[in-house]
Each structure stands twice: as structure tokens, then as C-alpha cells.
Structure 1
Amino acid sequence: MGILQRFLGKITKRDKDVDAPVNKEDLANSSDTKSHLKDHKDIEIPPITVTVEYSSSSRTNKKTESSSSSHYTYQKATFTPDDYVVLDFETTGLSPEKDAIIQIGAIRFRNHHPIEEFVSFVNPRRPIPPKITDITGITNEDVKNAPTTEEILPDFIQFLKDDVLIAHNAPFDMKFLLSNVQRLGIEKPKNLVIDTLSLARKYIAETPNHQLETLKQWLQLDLSSHHALDDCWACAAVYQTCQKRRKEKFHLSDDEKQAYDTVIRILNDHNRDTSLVRYSRTSTYLDIQAFYSFARIKLTGRKKYLLSKRLEQEIIELCPGVVCEPASKNETGQTRILIQTPDDLLLVSPLIVKEFDKALRSMEDYRKYVGKAEKVIEDYLSL
């Protein structure tokens, strides 16, 4: 929906996601794009012949209530599943309370393989604005004999079941879904939700922005734009690319997993709340974080060590008996604390707890003084 939002001039800028569309040839010829084609060359979009048909019979609905902002809330998934439903709505505008859905698309995936789809035009009971027809290609004639929202939405909710839902710029689609659910008096769905826009910002750095159209060109997908089902295919490809990159980034060796488990054990033994603890890795370090990094560990190569920003004397006072050496000039630290195995991290328990507490204090200071801190922290805690 990025182009639609930009066209109507009501999208909030973040990064470069509202820039003008990038020329496809420029993307295709860029070295970054070519170097990463291997990441998504295996993503296929096989044909599906499953269709959903609707009768024109009306339904009896429960009482109608006005939408409220609280009803728009939904729970974000904190994992990346292999089974999910990708969904997309085309609408007459941007307001979930004033505008209407004109097309629904959804695809159910099992182990990343599509098994079922749901697609239909929707009669909005109002003329489609010419600007929307220009963007989506959907005309008043297309929706004239289509089911209304009242007729189709209960079936769509049933189609979703309890699967994790995935959408690009998910707040847009979820607001339309939840607004109409409340208006019709249907029980609010409790599905977990993943936003591929947030994922793309995190795991796809090669593109100048993260609009679905730009990502589709980067992935070299031959799909139309602003058609609900094609946008679902594109969203699924973005999700699968991000999931693959996430797994590569967070895959731990046996030593790294043991080191992470040892750090968690240390914190638990000292009655610390580990719910904020996350990790990332590079080719050199395992970085364990509580929003800020508090334990950077090297477990590959000839030497294994915990890298610290503290001086050797302070470290030895906290952890007598440990062996230290200066960090190299290109490392973001002062001292290496040498270890033989991940279990040796137990010898530096006081230091790890001290650094963890410092990271939490720094996070609270960030939350207190930075305007968008809650959103940044929320992103950290998400996928």
C-alpha cells in the first residue's frame, strides 16, 4: 500500500520509504542487487487454482458499534514461523473508518509452500474514486456484483483461522480488518501479526527504500502492483527472504549456544530478569544484549575471549584469577579476558552481571530522554 499512501500524501516519512519509485533497470544493474540474487533465487511463486466463491445471500450480523482506536490493537509475533497467512486489502482510501475495502487477497502457507488462497472483489456500496482506480486498476464495474463487506468478511475471518498473519505495512491492513470486524459485531480475531515492512528495514539494506514496489523490483518478481493477490505473493517473497537472512544472522555454533546459555544462567543465578536479553552475531563475535550490548564474546579462531571496555586492573579486582591481555586497536574494547571454553564465562560472573545492570540503566535513560524510544525498544524486542 506504500504507493497509495504516498500518492494521497498522508504517509509519515521513515527512512526513505516514501521516496519516488526506483527505476527497475537501475536496481537490476546495481552491484548490490546482483550480489544478493542468490538470497532469493530459490523463491518460487507456483500457480494456485483454488478459488473462493460467494452467494449473494445476506447475513444476519450482530449489533454494530463504532470503531475505536483501542480496537485497532493487535499482538505482534516474536518469532518467524514457517506456517502463516499473507493478506492484503485494496481500499477506497486511507481511513479505516471512512473508506471501504474493494478487494481482499490472502494466501495460506505451510512450510513456506502455498496451499490455499482467498481472493475476491468487494462491493464498497459507493463509487470508487478515480484516483484509486488509476492506482489499483479496480473499477466500479469490477465490484458491482461482488459481495459486500458484510457478506464476505465472516468467511474471510474463518479462512484466517488462528494462523500468524503477515502483511506489508501491517498496521494499514489490520486497521481495516479490525475496524470492519468491530462495525459488524464480529468477534475480534486474536491472530499474531508480522509486518514485512519492519522486517525489510531490518534485514534488507540494499534497497533505497522498503516500499513493496521497490522490494518487488529488487526481488525481480514479475507481478502487478496494487492487486491484492499479487501483493500477497510479493509480501510472501519479502518475508521468506527476511526469514532466511534472520536465520543466517542468528544461527549459533555449539560453542556460541553454550556461551549464550551460560550468560543466561549467570543472570538467573543473580536474580536478574532475562526477558530483555537478545543476541546477534557477526563473523567474529557473539554479541549478547539487553538493548545495549553487555557481553561481546569471540569463540572462533586461535584465541577465545570476552571483550571488555574496562581496564585490566578493574577486571581483576572484580574477577580475581582471570587472564587478560590488551585488545587490538581495531576492536571496540580495552581488554580481552581469555577463556578456554564457554563455561569459563562463569569465572567472570560479577563482570557480566555488572555490565548487564549498566545496560539496563542505559536503556532506562534512553527511554526517559529520547522521544521515539518506545518504538525503538519495541523494534528491538520484536523479530
Structure 2
Amino acid sequence: MGILQRFLGKITKKDKDVDAPASKGDLANTSDMKPYNEERENHENAEIHPTPIMVTVEYGFSSSHTNKKIEMPSDNHYTYQKATFTPNDYVVLDFETTGLSPEKDAIIQIAAIRFRNHEPIEQFVSFVNPERPIPSKITDITGITDEDVKDAPTIEEIFPDFIQFLKDDVLIAHNAPFDIKFLLSNVQRLRMEKPQNLVIDTLSLARKYIAETPNHQLETLKQWLQLDLSSHHALDDCLTCAAVYRTCQKRREEKFRLSDDEKRAYDIVLRILSDHNRDTSLVRYSRTSTYLDIQAFYSFARIKLTGKKKYLLSKRLEQEIIELCPGVVCEPASKNESGQTRILIRTPDDLLPLSPLIVKDFDKALKSLEDYRKYVGKAEKVIEDYLSL
């Protein structure tokens, strides 16, 4: 995602949150903007150095990749797998291009930085000769001129070394569909093996975890993070993207950090489901006020393990609960709780006798998920976002 996207994105779509999708298909991913909180939170903990200390990558130019024939990539070739976790080791990448079309336009600058435990250790940066004049509007946006690229390697010469640099690391980019489509388009045109790297999009992460900015363009986020970096260079865009990623990861960790009792409770619920031959791949957890909320897309176990009273909050009536789990102690939920009955426990291990109730509510959540898939138009996109938790 380069400066070109940020400029042309304003022309192609009025959505403030879009840097510039590479195709109409990407526009579908930009329609879920959420209201933002105007109270600014402390954002000075990004822990990304303004200028990394890195090993310079030396690359050779190969003459064996000189096929000039342009092949239109299939839709299948543009598919890639999104990471469902936030790693500490990764490669951040960014391309500057002559336009928005991965089939018709060319890459004019490549940048990638490898991070280990969030520390930059090496970089791959180069201009690329597009073998055509750079449009003047692109020079105005990126600052890259024909003079800059005239002695640079062509994409055929440099891309094999670039793909080798990526290795099998998780790839991170801002508005990742744009950069990954340019990557995959050139891989196919050069008859190279399609890389299988997992991909993280910081645009999607920023929408989830940074609510206090008016939009989530990279330039806006750079200013919000108070980074002293240029917006006219792919390497600086990589550094900004890394800072956004680290900020989102820290906020995610804070949101999902569990106490020892909550970790124990979550493990027990997973064990209960596994012992009853249930698939736990959809199970996630989050924090809702003072509750541990365990979900299979829909919440099926809300547990309170802080304060004087510890309990599982159920939407079922006491009589039904006792029929399922004889001997449990119940009391009515308070009026401001989203449930009918509290099932009192002393420790997380007291959840084990509640296995019939937990399994029944899990099955109900799965049934609701299937109904959601059947009747809601954008269900798969929402479910995909849920699975990224």
C-alpha cells in the first residue's frame, strides 16, 4: 500500500477508511466502518524505533526471468490465507506502483523489513525499473521519477530475490489485498511458485483496535502515532505499518488478557467440549466487563470469577438448569445482567458438574451460527473477522 493508493483511493471511493483497493472486490471489505471514540487514548507505547538497525540484504540479478508476456492471473491465484493470530516475528512489506491494477500497472519500489520479537533485523529495499515512463501524477504522489528507476533492476531481475527474502514469514501490510495482489500477479507472470505465506492486514486490525482516529488511512495513523517518517517512501510506510501493528497487538493483548482463574475456566470448558466429541475450532474468548465470555461465534458460557461471588451466568431458568445439573446452587441474576440465572461456583473446577448445560448451550450457539450463515448476506466476512480473534 503506497502513497499512490492513498491519493487515488480518494478519487475511486469516498470511504474515508480506504487507502485504495486494487479491485472492486476489495471495496466490499471497506463498508464496515464503525463510529469512532473522540476521547484519545494513550498511544505512545508502539515500541517501534523510528529508524531500524538492520542488515542490508545483498541480491543478485538473474537473466533467466526475461519473459515479457503478460498473463492475466486467475481469481484463484489471488487467494491467500489470512493469519488468525498476531505473531511477534513477521515481515512488513509495501509496494509503490504506477497505478492500481496488478495486471496493467508496474511496481516501481519494493520495501520489506523482517522483524524478530518486534525488532527490525534486516531489510530489502529497491527501486524497480518499470520499463515504461512513470506517469507524472504518480511522480507527484510518490516523489519517484524516471531518473530514480532508470538504472534499477527490472521486476524479472529483482523479484526472485525478493520472494526468497520473504521466506515463510507471516506477511503484514496496510490494506494488504492491494500489495498481495501485486505480489501474486507478478509471481504468476514470472512463472514462479506461488508463496504460501500467511497475511495480516493492519487496516482491518486498526478498525478493530484503534477507535479514536477519524479514519484508518496509513497517513492518519502515522500522525496519530506521532511518527517522524516520510509518506513518500515504501520503507517508511513499512515502518509506519509495523508501528500500527504493534499498537493493535498490544491493545488486543490487553483486551484478551486473562487471570489465572479465567485461563483455568477456559481450559475446563474446552476439555468439557472435547470430552463430549465437540469441535472446538470455533471457540474463542473475550472480556465483557467483569465476565469471561466464551463463544462459538455466539456466547455460550459467561463466567464471573472476580469479586465476592463467582458464577456461570445462564439465560435458562433455574428449574431447567437443575434438571440438567442436579445439585447446583442457583440464584436470580441481577436486572442489569444479560441472563436469567446465576449458577454459583467457588473455583473454575466447579464448572465440571455443569458439563451437560455447557454442551447444550454450545450446540445451541452452533445452530444459531448456521442460521446466521443461511440468512445473512455478509455472514462469511463477519465470521472470518470473528475467527481472527
Note if 1:32 corresponds to 2:44.
no
1:376 maps to 2:379: no
Shift, 1:61, TM fit: 5.3
Q: Tell me if the contact between 2:65 and 2:190 (Cα under 8 Å) persists in the aligned partners.
A: no
Cα 1:146/1:38, change in 2 over 3 Å = closer
The partner residue of 1:252 within 242, 249, 258 is 258
Q: How far, CA to CA, are the matches of 2:379 and 2:255 in structure 1?
A: 24
Paired residue type of 1:45: P
Name the residue aligned to 2:31.
14
Say if 1:329 and 1:90 are closer, same or farther in 2 by CA, change over 3 A.
same
**Corresponding residue number in structure 2 for 1:4:** 7
> 1:86·1:232 contact (CA, 8 Å) conserved in 2?
yes
Match of 2:147 in 1: 141
**Equivalence for 2:91:** 85
- Residues 57 and 369 of structure 1, relative CA distance in 2, 3 Å threshold: closer
CA contact (8 A) 1:16 1:210 kept: no
Q: Does residue 225 of structure 1 match 2:231?
A: yes
Q: Summarize deviations over 1:225-280 as a string: whole Å, max 9, x none.
A: 24210110000001111111111222221111111111111111211111100111
Q: 1:106-146 deviations in whole A, cap 9, x for unaligned? A: 11111111111111111111122222222211122211211
Worse-matched range after superposition: 276-285 or 1-10: 1-10
Partner of 2:18: none
TM-score w.r.t. length of structure 2: 0.90
Offset, 1:9: 0.6
Q: Which residue of 2 aligns with 1:319?
A: 325
Higher mean C-alpha deviation, range 233-242 or range 133-142: 133-142
Residue in structure 2 matching 1:192, options 185, 195, 198: 198
Report if the CA contact (8 A) 2:38-2:213 is conserved: no
Which residue among 37, 50, 57 is the counterpart of 1:45? 50
- Structure 1 residues 57, 332: closer, same or farther in 2, change over 3 A? closer
Counterparts of 1:178-327 in structure 2, within 5 Å, are 178-327=184-333
1:52–1:120 contact (8 Å) kept in structure 2:
no
The percent of aligned pairs where both chains have the same amino acid is: 80
CA contact (8 A) 1:88 1:104 kept: yes
**Cα distance per residue 1:84-106 (max 9 Å; x no partner):** 11000011111110111011011
Post-superposition CA distance 1:304-349 (Å, at most 9, x none): 0001111212212222211111111221111111001111111211
Aligned residues: 371
**Residue 82 of structure 1, CA deviation:** 1.0
1:152-181 Cα shifts (integer Å, max 9, x gaps): 101101111111111111111010001001
Q: What is the deviation of 1:70?
A: 0.7
The Cα shift of 1:350 comes to 1.3
Say yes or no: does 1:126 pair with 2:143. no
Instruction: Say whether the 8 Å CA contact 1:62–1:186 is kept in structure 2.
Output: no
Cα distance in 2 for partners of 1:150, 1:69 equals 22
The 1-side partners of 2:277 and 2:33 are apart by 43
Would you say the 8 A contact 1:207–1:215 is kept in 2? Answer: yes
1:58 maps to 2:58: no
- In structure 2, C-alpha distance between the alignment counterparts of 1:53 and 1:7, rounded to whole Å: 37
Distance 1:185 1:110 in 2: 30
Q: Distance in 2 between matches of 1:254 and 1:97?
A: 52
Equivalent residue for 1:22?
Answer: none
* Alignment partner of 1:114 out of 107, 117, 120: 120
* Structure 1: stretches of 5+ with no match in the other structure: 20-26
Greater CA drift, 312-321 or 165-174? 312-321
* Alpha carbons 1:216, 1:234 under 8 Å: kept: yes
Counterpart of 1:14 in structure 2: which amino acid?
Answer: S
The residue type paired with residue 213 of structure 1 is: E
Structure 2: gaps spanning 5 or more residues: 14-20, 22-26
Residue of 104, 111, 134 corresponding to 1:98: 104
